[in-house]
Structure 1
């Protein structure tokens, strides 16, 4: 029998607040944190709104050396890992370091620092032959994504498996699943896991502009992210991170740890169809959902809430609606569904972990976060998308899904410990 895996610590940095409590306050109140891009002059771009984090690394306790060495995404990951460990009450010194691992997800890793350094080396793109005399000594750290989980491992003293997962927008879900598998199979007792991405840079904004994936609702930045709304026209790019302490259940119980939720099932699929396109029938996501529910050994009718990918693109929201109907049957019309991207935007590889945090906190507080900005119902998206206002409801079983460019479709089931026992 495989071992049980539970979440005992959460650390979040997301738009609209600093820390997990402010993150949950934002979601439960239905407020939005998207705004006009302030990090650079976005006036030449098609989409000029984003979910920016008010993140000060010095106030977060990072040293000047750490700030110089680490990319912004790595800084997010380390700060969130510290918060998760503190929240869990875990005594790292009393835990065998070979039984602690790290699994971290990211889509674009150190894009912020890579772009900054290129601009310095090339004199803002004016020089084809760059001047290596201006090369940062930390350039290697920016180029190699595995540096991010290594930074977290050094922070917590983890000497078990340390892994980077980078498969686009499902990275945050997939990284947590990998950590859970290592605990289930007996390799680890504890893992620091989650994801971080800080993609609000000119080159990333330009990439999504080119394929018209991001919104043009620039005049109303707070209302720009509109998942499942009839007026939606693309997602809002964002940054953020979420990290967790996940433990083997008996390990957590013996030390009297508070448990937010148990991770009971997961599955992933690929549509092998198109880099950015999605089939309208939602078959691959539906298959991932069915497999995750089977892994959890639960019937679709016990799902109390679905945390949707809900990016706010026309095709994604239709695709998801079809997938929920295909996998949950008639229950799809009864279960509440919502997208927190309406409030914090889409932080690419990080969002899957940020949404896991939202699901665990939803179980903890008995509240379904709303889909903000959902004012004009789309006839093709005809499920209960919890518009505008949060809803109090007991939640024992929650499904979270992710969809990523490349055709990746992932699903995870979280349950309250009492329900999963």
Structure 2
């Protein structure tokens, strides 16, 4: 079997700090927070009354008005981002290649907004008022399905659902398919839009969300001693992956190469990682091993960095376990300090930003890192971006159920 090199030839993002990749990247580097009062519903009775919402997004250039009425917000994000992605990649799928192009988009919860609204209507007006579009609007794989329709991709079409690692697993599966020759290209990443009463109420019940209601923009503070939980976010991040042969044949611009993918399970607890971060370490090691990269060669880590007490400390411990003394030399950042925790979209958005970091030679900051936790004592790029050559970056995603996924990207070289 021939193993193919896999490269990144397109990027797209819709985030709480920008409605496209360019504005999201500019604001990420500038340290702009996307947090603010919740506008998607009346949150007055909730312990947490703020979130990182996507703001004033206009889907009309990407999604027809009639179709948009039949799509949940998460699918609108995915289709819109896919159209941006193909434009960024400068590619339209030729019909004769359609069966070789996969769409693998992770999503943690799917159309929760549609589910809640339909359940309310059911209780108030009875079953006859349930829309025939309810099920196809709500299901989590509809993002991948609608993207495939929009771009004409007829290869493998699926949704990876693994909580907050969903987007990263989607990229990992797409990378594996191309590496093995099952596909020549793939639209992949993650999407989520669940800033809803049930989601916020549920995460509040878990004591997982920050309740810093008087200072929303200072609430997401990964690795800081005063962190008190994550800030829920939403959005979409997509990558176009291609085999190197396919990318070169069409004259594509290459952002970076996918060097390795690692995945693991904690086999420990439904919501908490083990204190030593063993599962996280297993996934990081696997990505390095697949890349044939020694730990001391790693330069940068885009951390999962949720701003929860347990996760940040466990991730730090796992990094030290994998890298040993070199951990002190690696530069970390936590995009969630600005975009919040976008759940199933996190790995997609953060992978897109990791690739941008390689392409631009700038590591975005971890904002609100004012009083660094002694248990999180690595170089976390506090509060100001750093201009430095970034030949490689490990992007981490970990989720409930003890699910872990890591992608390793590197600068492309012939």
TM-score with structure 1 setting the length:
0.96
2:69 partner SS = helix
Structure 2 counterpart of 1:28 = 29
Q: What is the deviation of 1:58?
A: 4.2
Cα 1:75–1:55 shift into 2, 3 Å: farther
* 1:180-229 C-alpha deviation (Å, 9 max, x unpaired): 11111111111111111001000010110111000011110111101000
Paired with 1:95 and 1:30, the residues of 2 have a C-alpha distance of: 44
Q: What is the deviation of 1:116?
A: 1.4
* 1:232-287 C-alpha deviation (Å, 9 max, x unpaired): 01000000101121101111112211111111101111111111112221111111
Structure 1 counterpart of 2:306 = 311
Is contact 1:57-1:67 (8 Å) kept?
Answer: no
Residue 211, structure 1, aligned to residue 212, structure 2: no
Is contact 2:362-2:387 (8 Å) kept?
Answer: yes
The partner residue of 1:255 within 229, 234, 250 is 250
2:242 partner SS = strand
Is contact 1:114-1:142 (8 Å) kept?
Answer: no
Alignment gaps of 5+ in structure 1: 124-129
Structure 1 counterpart of 2:101 = 100
Paired with 2:186 and 2:404, the residues of 1 have a C-alpha distance of: 24
Paired with 1:392 and 1:94, the residues of 2 have a C-alpha distance of: 42
2:159 partner SS = strand
* 1:123-169 C-alpha deviation (Å, 9 max, x unpaired): 2xxxxxx6122111211213432222110110111111111100100
Paired with 1:58 and 1:403, the residues of 2 have a C-alpha distance of: 30
Paired with 2:177 and 2:203, the residues of 1 have a C-alpha distance of: 35
Write the mapping of 1:292-303 to structure 2, written as runs, cut at 5 A.
Answer: 292-303=287-298
Paired residues in the alignment total 413
Is contact 2:185-2:241 (8 Å) kept?
Answer: yes
* 1:274-319 C-alpha deviation (Å, 9 max, x unpaired): 1111222111111111111000001111111100000000000000
Write the mapping of 1:2-401 to structure 2, written as runs, cut at 5 A.
Answer: 2-93=3-94, 96-123=97-124, 131-401=126-396
Paired with 1:356 and 1:381, the residues of 2 have a C-alpha distance of: 22
Q: What is the deviation of 1:121?
A: 2.0
Moved more, 280-289 or 342-351: 280-289
Paired with 1:187 and 1:57, the residues of 2 have a C-alpha distance of: 35
1:92 partner SS = coil
Q: What is the deviation of 1:55?
A: 4.2
Is contact 2:219-2:231 (8 Å) kept?
Answer: yes
Alignment gaps of 5+ in structure 2: none
Structure 1 segments, 4+ long, off by >3 Å, are 55-61
1:86 partner SS = helix
Cα 1:343–1:107 shift into 2, 3 Å: same
Is contact 2:8-2:256 (8 Å) kept?
Answer: yes
Paired with 1:269 and 1:167, the residues of 2 have a C-alpha distance of: 12
Q: What is the deviation of 1:173?
A: 0.4
Paired with 1:104 and 1:362, the residues of 2 have a C-alpha distance of: 22
Is contact 2:167-2:345 (8 Å) kept?
Answer: yes
Paired with 2:373 and 2:159, the residues of 1 have a C-alpha distance of: 38
1:273 partner SS = coil
2:10 partner SS = strand
Is contact 2:17-2:28 (8 Å) kept?
Answer: no
Paired with 1:43 and 1:171, the residues of 2 have a C-alpha distance of: 30
Paired with 1:278 and 1:184, the residues of 2 have a C-alpha distance of: 30
TM-score with structure 2 setting the length:
0.98
Is contact 1:57-1:75 (8 Å) kept?
Answer: no
